[in-house]
């Protein structure tokens, strides 16, 4: 018997080590070439390790072990050494007559073989070097049409749809949750008449990583979700998938902890995709008052947000100045005209349009607030591209309202709604989130009374809105109750002096407390 060494392959330019997540085969099992035998976890994604030959598997590293790229993880005992010797003898036996029959059959199949088109990760933005597979809309072996959306790709800035480049049978190469460089192979499409006919054979290895089967019932899960469910001891049949075609996503597996754990019957019902886990008892359901923990990998967007916010704190001289705004004039104006405004423009009249218009006027009066540092230069913007911070399930994004200074109240409100919907649906493009000159963030919708927002680099300032609270204030020598909002302006002291920052915020306060100034441009 010959012994083939299986080592940890390079899985990414910046990845130097991986952790063994799940063995899909046991010690001594017989494996086929290209069959998925193990799941590997890195700090970026989960990868699948396939057998490099037919033979008997001998495991050299256990689940949970961390190995460097190139380390030995397993060996495969092949029959190559013994298989060569008996070959001549078989030619002299009567069975040798059967071999010429099989050989032409194989040759006949070759001309009809399907043409394979490799699909790679496309270039999705000038500064984007890698993407993460968010979800597959099609399963391995499915028939796809030209330009049909088969996959969603997620970068640190936006989500993109990947259309099929040809009609044929889909062969998935990279699993959900996997991070790929631009230009890496993500899938293949078999075109031709017998592309579909070959589906059962070429798709054979896929169920080990992409599906969990249970007594004739197939539940489609992503590899990451299958691993999470296996660790929890949860049967995929008890989990409702929210992905395309009922596919169980990573989020479904994470959220299934409470719902599905209570419906588990026994540890024996764990998915067959992870036989090494079958002997281990299923984790007990969380008990009230317990001190359990769970660990989740950061998404690409979350890692980018974290990196940029830390960079802003370290690279700018950020300060925050505060003021308060009496919102009664705006609230009275909205109360008087909101019905007619909605009837005419088919959109509600919100506070954000008032703040956006006030910001645009104040930026013209104090252009340094609308500038940014570029090397040894200060770049001044003659336009107002206002970024609006929007909270989404994936994290915080800041779509941009272009040339807000030229827009009416109704146009601003419609653009805010359009961008917010696209943000929550994960459909924002790179061009819709870059190039802003000033940012507004509204923590008041979540109940924030006061905060110090962080600058959205490379911009030099950001305005924070907060909740509106009725407070006792003095007006014309009398104590009255007014709806008051605290506002905060964080700014880069390298470009903006204290006088300009305070004066800018006072100007915004002046415009909001007397909205007629916005109409008369006073």
Contact partners, residue 466, CB within 8 Å, separation at least 6: 443, 444, 448, 449, 450, 451, 485, 486, 487, 488
Average pLDDT over residues 182-202: 65
Please, what is the average pLDDT of the chain?
A: 77
CB-side neighbour CA atoms (13 Å) of 234: 27
At residue 516 the predicted structure's pLDDT band, cuts being 50, 70 and 90, is: confident
- Which residue, chain included where needed, has tokens 């302006």? 489
Contact partners, residue 98, CB within 8 Å, separation at least 6: none
The per-residue DSSP string of 241-293 comes to --SGGG-B-HHHHHHHHHHHHTT---GGGS-TT-GGGTTSPPPPPPPTT----
The per-residue DSSP string of 423-434 comes to HHTT---GGGTS
Q: Are 283 and 228 in contact (CB under 8 A)?
A: no
Segments making up each domain of the chain, as ranges: 2-109, 115-204, 207-283, 308-520
- Residues 34, 205: Cα–Cα separation, whole Å: 7
pLDDT over 70 (residue 506): yes
The yes/no answer on whether domain 308-520 falls in CATH 3.30.559.10 is yes
DSSP single-letter state for residue 113: P
- Residues 350, 402: Cα–Cα separation, whole Å: 19
What are the backbone dihedrals phi and psi of residue 465, each rounded to the nearest 5 degrees, phi first? -95, 155
| CATH class held by domain 2-109 | mainly beta
What are the backbone dihedrals phi and psi of residue 453, each rounded to the nearest 5 degrees, phi first? -60, 150
- Identify each DSSP E strand in 340-498 by its residue range: 371-374, 377-380, 386-388, 390-392, 395-397, 400-401, 438-442, 461-465, 468-475, 478-492
Identify the weakest region by mean pLDDT among 130-144, 149-163, 242-256, 363-377.
Answer: 242-256
Strand, helix or coil for residue 54: coil
The residues assigned a catalytic role are 493, 497
Same-fold call for 2-109 versus 115-204: yes
Contact partners, residue 435, CB within 8 Å, separation at least 6: 385, 400, 402
Q: Residue 325: what pLDDT?
A: 94
CATH code of 115-204, in short, is 2.40.50.100
Beta pairing, strands 143-144 & 130-136: unpaired
Q: Residue 501: what pLDDT?
A: 94
pLDDT tens digits for range 453-474:
999 888 999 999 999 999 999 9
Q: What is the value of pTM for the model shown?
A: 0.51
- Residues 347, 409: Cα–Cα separation, whole Å: 10
CB-side neighbour CA atoms (13 Å) of 232: 31
Q: Residue 269: what pLDDT?
A: 41
Contact partners, residue 288, CB within 8 Å, separation at least 6: none
pLDDT tens digits for range 7-39:
888 876 667 788 888 888 888 889 888 888 888
Q: Residue 95: what pLDDT?
A: 42
């Amino acid at each position: 018997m010959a012994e083939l060494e299986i080592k940890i392959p390079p899985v990414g330019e910046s990845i130097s080590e991986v952790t063994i997540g799940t063995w899909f085969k046991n010690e001594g099992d017989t494996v086929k070439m290209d069959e998925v035998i193990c799941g590997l976890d890195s700090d970026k994604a989960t990868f699948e390790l396939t057998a490099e030959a037919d033979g008997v598997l001998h495991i050299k590293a256990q689940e949970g072990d961390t190995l460097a790229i190139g380390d030995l993880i397993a060996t495969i005992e092949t029959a190559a050494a013994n298989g060569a010797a008996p070959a001549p003898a078989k030619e002299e036996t009567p069975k040798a007559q059967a071999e010429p029959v099989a050989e032409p059959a194989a040759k006949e199949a070759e001309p009809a073989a399907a043409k394979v088109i490799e699909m790679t990760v496309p270039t999705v933005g000038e500064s984007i070097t890698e993407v993460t597979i968010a979800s597959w809309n099609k399963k391995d072996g499915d028939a796809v049409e030209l330009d049909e959306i088969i996959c969603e790709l997620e970068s640190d800035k936006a989500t993109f749809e990947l259309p099929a480049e040809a009609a044929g049978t889909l062969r998935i190469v990279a699993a959900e949750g996997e991070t790929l460089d631009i230009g890496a192979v993500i899938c293949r499409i078999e075109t031709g008449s017998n592309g579909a006919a070959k589906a059962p054979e070429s798709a054979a290895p896929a169920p080990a990583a992409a599906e969990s089967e249970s007594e004739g019932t197939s539940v489609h899960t992503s590899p990451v979700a299958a691993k999470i469910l296996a660790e929890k001891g949860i049967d995929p049949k008890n989990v409702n998938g929210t992905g395309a075609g009922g596919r169980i996503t990573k989020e479904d597996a994470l959220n299934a902890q409470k719902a599905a754990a209570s419906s588990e019957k026994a540890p024996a019902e764990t998915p067959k995709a992870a036989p090494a886990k079958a002997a281990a008892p299923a984790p007990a359901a969380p008990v009230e008052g317990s001190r359990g923990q769970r660990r989740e990998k950061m998404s690409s967007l979350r890692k980018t947000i974290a990196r940029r916010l830390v960079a802003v704190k370290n690279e700018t001289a950020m300060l925050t100045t505060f003021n308060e705004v009496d919102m009664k004039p705006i609230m009275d104006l909205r109360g008087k005209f909101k019905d007619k405004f909605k009837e005419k423009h088919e959109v509600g009249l919100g506070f954000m349009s008032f703040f956006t218009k006030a910001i645009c006027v104040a930026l013209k009066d104090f252009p340094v607030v609308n500038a940014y540092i570029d090397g040894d230069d200060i770049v001044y913007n003659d336009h107002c591209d206002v970024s609006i911070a929007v909270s989404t399930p994936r994290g915080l994004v800041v779509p941009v309202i272009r040339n807000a200074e030229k827009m009416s109240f109704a146009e601003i409100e419609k653009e805010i709604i359009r961008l917010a919907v696209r943000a929550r649906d994960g459909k924002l493009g790179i061009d819709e989130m870059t190039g802003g000159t000033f940012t507004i963030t509204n923590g008041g919708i979540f109940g924030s009374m006061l905060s110090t927002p962080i600058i959205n680099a490379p911009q030099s300032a950001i305005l924070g809105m907060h909740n509106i609270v009725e407070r006792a204030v003095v007006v014309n020598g009398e104590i009255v109750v007014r709806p008051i909002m605290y506002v905060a302006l964080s700014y880069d002291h390298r470009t903006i002096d204290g006088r300009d920052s305070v004066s800018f915020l006072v100007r915004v306060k002046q415009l909001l407390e007397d909205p007629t100034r916005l109409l008369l441009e006073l």
